[in-house]
Amino acid sequence: MKKIFIVGAGLMGSGIAQVCAQSGINVILNDISKEAIDKGLKDIAWSVSKFIEKGNLREDKETILNRIKTDDDFSSAADADLAIEAVFEKLELKQEIFRKLDEACQQNTILASNTSAIPITELGS
């Protein structure tokens, strides 16, 4: 896995981006809101700093954060190995995101959802 595209820069999306970046994977964090992206990046930077302070990460903060890029459209999803939808629990929004991902991503890109309340069969309909 070389590149992961994450839609939604809120708590879950930014958390997923952080874990991926800490694991050495390049991430594109996508959101239509610049404010959400800025807050997500700020939260990631704070959390990475805390992990480093506690001795739980060996890499430096800059190396980890440099693996995370941002985007407000779906163009950079074209070469992603994995695309994860991580927006709030609204079926129509999630379905629209999957339509956009289906258009933007390569055929072999894995599409995934971070949902807790919507059955995956409904997302696929």
> Using one digit for the tens of pLDDT, what is the confidence trace for 86-117?
999 999 999 999 999 999 999 999 999 998 88
The topology (CATH level 3) of 3-123 is Rossmann fold (3.40.50)
> How far is 54 from 29, CA to CA, in rounded Å?
26
> How far is 50 from 125, CA to CA, in rounded Å?
41
**Structural tokens at position 45:** 């930077």
Sign of the C-alpha dihedral computed for residues 75, 98, 40 and 72 taken in this order: positive
Which residues neighbour 112 within 8 Å (Cβ) at sequence distance 6 or greater? 82, 83, 84, 85
**What are the residue boundaries of the structural domains of the chain, listed by start?**
3-123
**Structural tokens at position 107:** 């055929």
Please state the pTM of the whole predicted model.
Answer: 0.94
46-87 pLDDT, tens digit each:
999 999 999 999 999 999 999 999 999 999 999 999 999 999
The CA-atom distances, in angstroms, between 28 and each of 77, 88, 92 are 8, 18, 23
